[in-house]
Chain A
Amino acid sequence: DTEVTQTPKHLVMGMTNKKSLKCEQHMGHRAMYWYKQKAKKPPELMFVYSYEKLSINESVPSRFSPECPNSSLLNLHLHALQPEDSALYLCASSQDHSGGKTDTQYFGPGTRLTVL
């Protein structure tokens, strides 16, 4: 089973709202990722967690706040977003061998976010 689940599927929020995106995997993977994808573009990496610790932050604005409560869950907390933050937010996970071997990333279906 290579399933990554994401909730909600769609989210509409105002610029003053606080909301959270959730991601879950039960494959025993130890690396989890957040990506942002604008229309007709490839995904852009935002954050990487490895063994529940933040290992990569691609200079993402602080209005996006990731959290990894345990090895199966990944959250993205949203606050004071701008309309240009509207996009498809994708979660992914991988084994994370961390020993010189590249991993295969498996993606969830995404949350389509609209900021009004």
Chain B
Amino acid sequence: GNSVTQMEGPVTLSEEAFLTINCTYTATGYPSLFWYVQYPGEGLQLLLKATKADDKGSNKGFEATYRKETTSFHLEKGSVQVSDSAVYFCALANYGGATNKLIFGTGTLLAVQP
């Protein structure tokens, strides 16, 4: 079946530190991969996505590369800010049936300290 595994949080960093949040997946076929971000008290926002192997998604300084050989989609940012503090969800969508479903990882809480 399809599944997503994310690193456990919380991840606590100082401002301007380098961020990596690991995400690996199990899926048949060729899923699309997503990172969503959820700020406190809000809904989910799409951060970036990749639809095929070796694609790199990027947005707001965040990036992730779809690695089929390692079944990974790690999220990185070179210099985090306090405003990046949020929960980050890795997800995959694998077409099957009439409508695709999103499979989420457990989420990783990022806390950035000034």
Chain A residues close to B by CB (< 8 Å): 2, 6, 31, 40-43, 45, 48, 50, 55-56, 88, 90, 92, 94, 96, 98, 100-110
A38 to chain B, nearest CB (A): 11
Given contacts A104-B34, A109-B42, A109-B43, contact A42 B89 (CB under 8 A): yes
B104 to chain A, nearest CB (A): 4
Given contacts A43-B104, A102-B51, contact A50 B98 (CB under 8 A): yes
A104 to B93 alpha-carbon distance, docked (Å): 8
**Total B residues in contact with A, Cβ cutoff 8 Å:** 25
* Interface of chain A, main secondary structure: loop
Tally A-B pairs: CB < 8 A.
63
A63 to chain B, nearest CB (A): 23
Q: Restricting to B80-110, which residues have a CB under 8 Å from any CB of A? A: 89, 93-95, 97-102, 104-107
A75 to B50 alpha-carbon distance, docked (Å): 31
Residue B32, interface by CB 8 Å: yes
Chain B residues close to A by CB (< 8 Å): 31-32, 34, 36, 42-46, 49, 51, 89, 93-95, 97-102, 104-107
User: Which residues from chain A contact B105 at a C-beta distance below 8 Å?
Assistant: 42
A8 to chain B, nearest CB (A): 14
